[in-house]
Amino acid sequence: MIKVLANDGIDKSAEEALKAAGCEVDTNHYDGAELIAKLKEVNAVVIRSATKLTAEIFEGINGGNLKLAIRAGVGIDNIDIPAGEKAGVTVTNTPSASSDSVAELALGHMFSVARHIGITNVTMREGKWEKKNYKGVELDGKTLGLIGFGRIARSLAKKAEALGMKVIYTDLLGKVAGYDQFKHCAKDDVLKDADFVSLHIPFDKQAGATIGSKEFAQMKDGVYLINCARGGVVDEAALITALDNGKVAAAGIDVFEKEPTDNTVLINHPKVSVTPHIGASTGEAQKRIGAEVVDLITNFSF
């Protein structure tokens, strides 16, 4: 019997499908030494954002039964892949299941910052009627610049195009075939020409933040920044400075350098729309992710 640990939970339909396939499924959450001990017992582990599978954890379970580690989502930056491979563990993810959900949240943040939806929710609940203070901008006719052009960015590009936005993008792999309606540009040109900049890239610990003081200086005055990708790709201190001096008109942020975040200055900033890393948190996405997890486990050679 294949033993599966879903350490950050899993959609009920996926849990039932795994059990129907003859798997034993544990949906409890474990940390530290308890997690290491549990991982030695199971054949597969499924995690989301809360669990970090570090080199120390993989070293601790080396020689155990674990053969497969699945990140139920797009990014795999919370799994030390080389350490996993060294321990004989295959590391994989569910890259396509949550694309539309994350793209819709990014679009939601774009509307929120363009029309002051987040801050006016706050001020009205404080008994204030500050209609004259919140003149917004329309998305129609604006240029959306995408840093990274993977599945999520492509989904967002199509939605933005339907709203009348011009979409430009940059990607390490160059121009992406089949998307000729969107203009591929150098990163510097995307930063320079975009009215809205949305990030769709992983965090590289060695390289550090992709967007910092230098990049903000390249952007238009009054640019809008959206980050539903990964914490760390934006230098939070540099972002706060750019918000304070008006370089950035507003920002929509779903991911943070530290999670749960303790950056109270950022999350309480009147020009920021914030959510607690909920890009993939829709019922539809979790069902798709769960189905992909089931396929990965049931088709794996343990």
Task: Examine the domain organization and report whether 55 and 121 are in the same domain.
Answer: no
Task: Examine the domain organization and report whether 83 and 226 are in the same domain.
Answer: no
Given 230, 236, 269, 288, the catalytic residue:
230
- With a pLDDT cut of 90, the percent of the chain lying above it is 95
Report pLDDT for 276.
97
Q: How many domains does the chain have?
A: 2
Q: For the segment 98-110, what is each residue's pLDDT rounded down to a tens digit?
A: 999 999 999 999 9
Handedness of CA 94, 96, 97, 99 (dihedral sign): positive
Q: Strands, DSSP E only, in 72-180?
A: 90-93, 143-147, 166-170
Structural domain boundaries, residue 36: 3-97+282-298
Q: What is the mean pLDDT of residues 113-140?
A: 97
CA distance 256 to 273: 13
* Cis amide bond preceding 260, omega within 30: yes
214 burial (CB, 10 Å; 0-12 / 13-18 / 19+) is exposed
Given 16, 56, 138, 259, the catalytic residue:
259
Which two structure tokens, joined as six digits, stand for 87? 């321990």
Task: Examine the domain organization and report whether 257 and 180 are in the same domain.
Answer: yes
Report pLDDT for 205.
86
Given 154, 277, 288, 292, the catalytic residue:
277
Report pLDDT for 176.
97
Does residue 63 register a pLDDT over 90?
Answer: no
**pTM above the 0.85 mark?**
yes
Does residue 24 register a pLDDT over 90?
Answer: yes
Task: Examine the domain organization and report whether 255 and 287 are in the same domain.
Answer: no
Q: How far is CA 115 from CA 20, 121, 195, in A?
A: 48, 11, 14
Does residue 95 register a pLDDT over 90?
Answer: no
Is residue 29 part of the annotated active site? The answer reads: no
Please state, rounded to an integer, the average pLDDT across all residues of the chain: 97
Task: Examine the domain organization and report whether 82 and 104 are in the same domain.
Answer: no
Is residue 277 part of the annotated active site? The answer reads: yes
Q: What is the CATH number of the domain that holds 260?
A: 3.40.50.720
Is residue 184 part of the annotated active site? The answer reads: no
